[in-house]
Structure 1
């Protein structure tokens, strides 16, 4: 579970990097938030603090990017 959580966290972080580019903010809905939430769930199941922290930070930054771009009202 720990490895799966880290993989989802890393994939979400890579999607977040693409989502910060102009006109690619919509990627946060597909490639950032769902993997980050799955990473949080699997991290909580495996009790891995690093994976939980990574997924939580990525989810917060993705949601912040959506709020700044008008994706979440």
Structure 2
């Protein structure tokens, strides 16, 4: 689960970079639910993994959380209108 959430977070981060380009802000509307699913997978991975092996799941959770925050801020600034 940790590897899946880490890869999910990397894909979300790349998608976020593309969505920061002007006229592509509408991608944030799809990015937020995508990253939320990745965060849920990461949270499950943190709960089910042994304490010594939680690094990937925690990193995936942090990446997906960062993507959600940046996408929400971008939408609040009006970046998703166009």
TM-score (norm 1): 0.86
- List, as ranges, runs of 4+ consecutive aligned residues in structure 1 with deviation greater than 3 Å: none
How much does 1:22 deviate?
0.5
Gaps of 5+ in 2: 47-56
Question: Corresponding residue for 2:49?
Answer: none
Gaps of 5+ in 1: none
CA contact (8 A) 1:9 1:35 kept: no
Structure number with higher relative contact order (C-alpha < 8 Å, ≥ 6 residues apart): 2
Matches within 5 A, 1:1-73: 1-30=1-30, 32-47=31-46, 48-69=57-78, 71=80
TM-score (norm 2): 0.78
Distance 1:70 1:24 in 2: 8
RMSD: 1.6
**Aligned residue pairs, count:** 71
